[in-house]
Amino acid sequence: MKTGNAAKPGADRRPLLNRLLASRAGNVLPIVAASILPMAAMIGGAVDMSRAYMVKSRIQQACDAGVLAGRRAMQQSSYTDAAKAQARDFFDINFKEGYNETTNVVFNTSNPAGTSKVLGSASTVMPTAIMSMFGKETIAIDVVCEAELNLSNSDVTFVLDVTGSMLENISNGTGGTTTRIASLRNSVMSFYDTLANAATGSNARVRYAFVPYSTNVNVGELLYDTNPSWLNGGTAGDSWNYQSRRPLWNITSTSTQTTTDTQTLSYNVSASNCTSFGNNSSFWQGWTQFNPNPSGNPTTQTSGNTTTKTTYEPWRWGGAAGPWTGSGTSSCVRRRTQEVTTTTTTETAVWQAGATFSRWEYLQRTYPTFDFVRSIKTANPAVATPSEIDGSTSRWSGCIEERDTIAGAPIAYGSNGITVNGSTSAHDLNIDAAPTNAATKWRPYWEDVYYFRNDPKSLKNYGAGYTACPTKARLLATMTRTDVQNYVNSLVAVGGTYHDVGLLWGARIASPQGIFASTVNASPGNGGSVGRHVIFMTDGDLTSYDFVASMYGIERLDLRVTGGSNNPSQLERQRQRYMAICEAIKGKGIRLWVIAFATTLTADLQTCASSGSSFTASNSSQLNTAFQNIAKQISELRLTK
């Protein structure tokens, strides 16, 4: 018996869908119709979710950009309205309402109390394209974001140009004016506030050191406190040579010689005695009468350094004692006594009792330095100023003359450190070595004794800029805001722009291998590493003067840098010095930042800086921005959620 629907061998094995379409049975079309809606929901949902993902990704990026901008704009620990506006601006730039037909865009930021974070949230509503057919007309999209300045342990050494030009006025960037030194003070404080804000809520250690410089640096007390034997003057009997002056004194001596003789006049007596015989003026030299005390007796005459005193007195007449009388021819006799006094004046450099000041002699002099160096401490007495005779005294202010150098070139940094004409014996350019002998010790700078040679103009005149000793440098230490404010307020502007001087001592104070290594390498106590930074700010080109008293004495006379040679010039040798010091700083793994303030960012300054670490500022506002940018880079602004 046959069954009409039974499968036969070799039956149709086409795909089910093809067979359904080819089938004439009445159940196929209802099945297909029933499957369209689920398939549409699946495909439509995928399309709308893909659009929602793109919107969420875009609004997340905008949220991140907003909180980063808001955190960057935060001042100190206050999230100001201006910072909020900055965050909003960056969000709006990165997400426009209407993107994929979005509406109801909301963006909010906040700064939780006691933290350095900026939190953000953003939301929007996106209409669906297909899912609306199934009653899902919109999709709500929400994101959160968070930005924070994360500060690691940081040591910051400021090398600050405080030369005379820093007193000049400059635009504040908002239509007013200020001074350059005031701009510097404000910018350093903004820098401090930025790092302090970044450190809020963390255990990061932040330390600061300061090296104000002009033609000198004030590091003497730092050296004295660390090890007095590093100084010429740290040991009794020490002395140093200064271009100075000394007084010369007049010593007067006298000698007197006495001679006596008589003078005789014969005459025909026409008077009762010789007293009336005074009309013969040619003989009596103008006397009006001949008696023991005539008018004009005695007489005194001076010629050059010789004085002659002549005295006359009646002596005899005709062999008889006067008064004389008689008749006929006789004679009048008088005795003449002459005292000849000779005065001799001798000039000497050694004062004696009764001596009088003669003149100043200008020359190099050797002065004892032990008591002068000790006078840097107020508990010790001041010393008599050896170039003066008015009783004035001196105290050491802390500036120095450098240790021995080599008057040569070229000057370069290499694997052996900084060399001069290939030699490593320029002790002044050795950043890390401690003194071991007289040649490697630092000498006290003595402002009160420097003088021009054969010129009465004193080099100690600060107004003329011939000597300059800036504010005392500071070693690395944690500092409160008040500490920093008080320090920058103490900065004074004086002297010329000697970059080599400032950078050399910035390197010594920041070096982990140098004379202050125990301070530099002190553990931060939190197990973290330490980032080291030197911030070098200048408002002028390198200068070089041979007539001022600098860290190398008076070059015109001492010849420590040039040795008397002008090939290359003193300026070029100082340029080579500071460029070599820049390389040495970077060679220690220290990031060297450079700010050219109201001056050109020269090729040398750009080369001096670490990569991507140089800035320019033409007014006060831009200087503040430069310091802020450095602080923010040190702080490592980043997203934390």
List, for residues 185-197, the tens digit of each pLDDT value. 999 999 999 898 8
| Residue 241: strand, helix, or coil | strand
Q: Give the tens place of pLDDT for each residue, 550-561.
A: 999 999 999 999
Regarding predicted confidence, which is higher, 310 or 18?
A: 310
pLDDT at 552: 96
Q: Give the tens place of pLDDT for each residue, 423-476.
A: 999 999 999 999 999 999 999 999 999 998 866 666 765 455 689 999 999 999
Residue 281 corresponds to which tokens in the numbers above? 């003026």
Query: Residue 151: which pLDDT band, with cuts at 50, 70 and 90?
Result: confident
* pLDDT at 266 exceeding the cut of 80: no
User: CA 121 to CA 577: how far, in whole Å?
Assistant: 54
Residue 468's Cα: distance from chain center in Å? 11
Phi, then psi, of 576 in degrees rounded to 5: -65, -35
Regarding predicted confidence, which is higher, 566 or 223?
A: 223
Contact of 512 with 521, CB cutoff 8 Å: yes
pLDDT at 296: 59
Of 128-142, 149-163, 424-438, 554-568, the one with minimum mean pLDDT is 128-142
pLDDT at 14: 57
Of 126-140, 245-259, 338-352, 355-369, the one with minimum mean pLDDT is 126-140
User: CA 314 to CA 278: how far, in whole Å?
Assistant: 13
- Closest by alpha carbon to 465, among 242, 167, 247, 169? 167
Residue 470 corresponds to which tokens in the numbers above? 């800036």
pLDDT at 78: 76
DSSP one-letter code for 417: E
CA atoms within 13 A on the CB side of 448: 19
* pLDDT at 32 exceeding the cut of 90: no
Residue 165 corresponds to which tokens in the numbers above? 């030009």
Regarding predicted confidence, which is higher, 199 or 500?
A: 500
Q: Is 352 exposed, middle or buried (0-12, 13-18, 19+ CB in 10 A)?
A: exposed
pLDDT at 281: 35
Q: Is the dihedral of CA 575, 578, 584, 587 positive or negative?
A: negative
pLDDT at 77: 63
Site of tokens 């220690």: 588
Residue 205 corresponds to which tokens in the numbers above? 């250690």
pLDDT at 33: 53
pLDDT at 43: 57
Q: Give the tens place of pLDDT for each residue, 270-316.
A: 444 454 443 333 333 333 334 444 555 688 899 999 999 988 776 54
pLDDT at 35: 52
pLDDT at 335: 73
Q: What is the mean pLDDT of residues 71-79?
A: 74
Q: What is the mean pLDDT of residues 45-68?
A: 89
Q: From the CB of residue 491, how many other CB atoms can be counted at a distance below 10 Å?
A: 18
Q: What is the mean pLDDT of residues 89-101?
A: 92
pTM for the structure as a whole: 0.74
* pLDDT at 110 exceeding the cut of 90: yes
* pLDDT at 511 exceeding the cut of 70: yes
pLDDT at 632: 85
- Closest by alpha carbon to 580, among 419, 415, 416, 401? 419
Q: Where are the domains of the chain?
A: 30-146, 248-348
Phi, then psi, of 75 in degrees rounded to 5: -105, 125
Q: From the CB of residue 471, how many other CB atoms can be counted at a distance below 10 Å?
A: 20
Query: Residue 136: which pLDDT band, with cuts at 50, 70 and 90?
Result: confident
Query: Residue 200: which pLDDT band, with cuts at 50, 70 and 90?
Result: confident
Q: What is the mean pLDDT of residues 390-401?
A: 97
Q: What is the mean pLDDT of residues 63-90?
A: 86
